[in-house]
């Protein structure tokens, strides 16, 4: 279900260095011009989730969403954590030419 890069693991270890560890939810957030994106949040698992432990962290993901995306890769970029689905999400954006620019820019 889950691939956690070394960079992402180190970032999580740094974040939780002075905090009690909690479950990390992978969820589908509504998107702007790029459509919905997978994100991370601190949230406890429910009966509707699949949970997996990686590097001492517990990740949870809704079972229906997991069935759609088949798994995720969590990494870190200059903008923070990136959560890439194994099976890409359908692009439902407004055709803005990508998320790197504002809507209407090329």
Q: Could you tell me if 1 and 50 are in contact, meaning their C-beta atoms sit under 8 angstroms apart?
A: yes
Tokens of 72: 């995720």
Q: β-pairing, 24-29 with 37-42?
A: antiparallel
Residue 18 has what DSSP assignment?
G
Q: Is the pLDDT of residue 101 over 60?
A: no
Task: Spell out the domains of the chain, with CATH numbers in brackets.
Answer: 2-85 (2.60.300.12)
Q: Could you tell me if 44 and 22 are in contact, meaning their C-beta atoms sit under 8 angstroms apart?
A: yes
pLDDT in tens, 66-94: 999 999 999 999 999 999 999 998 766 55
The pLDDT score that the predictor gives to residue 77 is 94
Q: β-pairing, 2-4 with 37-42?
A: unpaired
pTM of this prediction exceeds 0.85: no
């Amino acid at each position: 279900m889950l691939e956690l890069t070394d960079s992402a693991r180190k970032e999580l270890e740094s974040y939780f260095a002075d905090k009690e560890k909690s479950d990390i939810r992978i969820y589908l957030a509504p998107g702007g011009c790029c459509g919905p994106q997978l994100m991370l949040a601190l949230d406890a698992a429910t009966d509707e989730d699949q949970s997996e432990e990686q590097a001492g962290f517990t990740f949870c993901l809704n079972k229906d969403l997991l069935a759609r995306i088949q798994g995720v890769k969590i990494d870190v970029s200059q903008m923070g954590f990136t959560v890439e689905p194994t099976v890409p999400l359908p692009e439902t954006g407004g055709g803005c030419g990508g998320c790197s620019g504002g809507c209407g820019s090329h």
